[in-house]
Structure formats: structure tokens, C-alpha cells
Amino acid sequence: MSVEKDDSVLVLLNRLDLPKRGWVVRDHWAGDLCAIGIASTRDERRLVYVSTFAKDHGKFDFECELPDGPEAEQYTVARRGEDVDFETLVDVLSAHLDDSASRSGA
């Protein structure tokens, strides 16, 4: 994967092992080097925005987003969090992204 981001984001993506989990990068914030979008391959508009900006090592802010209209810019925030650790972030990602499987009948 060729993503130009801050090392904190690249380390996070490497630790998450996205392909193994069925997740993909959806980077709607290319200009923000400390932010990345992660989505399920089953529903790429259901995503989690993750930021490492001004965070201590291993801490993350997140925003879980749901589609709210036909355009990519139309979404609803389902959940937010600040200063969570890696394990908590993985739990949030799993709950939000893997829930798309139950919604699609997979």
C-alpha cells in the first residue's frame, strides 16, 4: 500500500493488518497527514475516521460514520472518541465495520 501519511498513521495501518480483517483504506483526507479513513470491503461508505494529530504515541481520536444520502459527503456520525488506545480502537473498528456484515446479510 502506498499511502503518504505521518509515521503514526502508517504504524497504525501496519498493526491493523487491514486485508486480514476485510478492511480497506478510504482516504478522503489526503491533505491531512495524521488522518485516515478505514472501511469494510462489504460497505465502503461505512467507515471510521482515525486521527493521530497532536496525540501521544499509541493514542487515537476516531469518528464512526454512516452513509446519509447518495453522495460520499453525506454521512451521519454514529460515535466519537478521543485519546483511545490501540485495543479500544480495534474494538471500535470491529464493532462499526464488521456490523456491516450483519446489515448486508453476510
Q: Is 106 among the domain residues? A: no
Distance CA 53, CA 82 (A): 11
Q: Is 2 among the domain residues? A: no
Q: Is 32 among the domain residues? A: yes
Query: How many domains, the chain?
Result: 1
Which ranges in 2-104 belong to alpha helices (H)?
7-16, 18-21, 86-97, 99-104
Positions of the chain with pLDDT lower than 50, given as ranges: 1, 101-106
Q: What are phi and psi of 66, to 5 degrees?
A: -125, 145
Q: Is 18 among the domain residues? A: yes
pTM reported for the whole predicted model: 0.87
Taking a C-beta distance cutoff of 8 angstroms, is the pair 101, 43 a contact?
no
Residue whose C-alpha cell is 456490523? 99
pLDDT at 4: 86
Q: What is the pLDDT of residues 8-23, one digit of tens each?
A: 999 999 999 999 999 9
Q: Is 54 among the domain residues? A: yes
Q: Is 1 among the domain residues? A: no
| Residues in Cβ contact with 84 at an 8 Å cutoff, skipping those fewer than 6 apart | 59, 60, 61, 62, 92
Distance CA 52, CA 60 (A): 5
Q: Residue 56 sits in which domain range?
A: 7-99
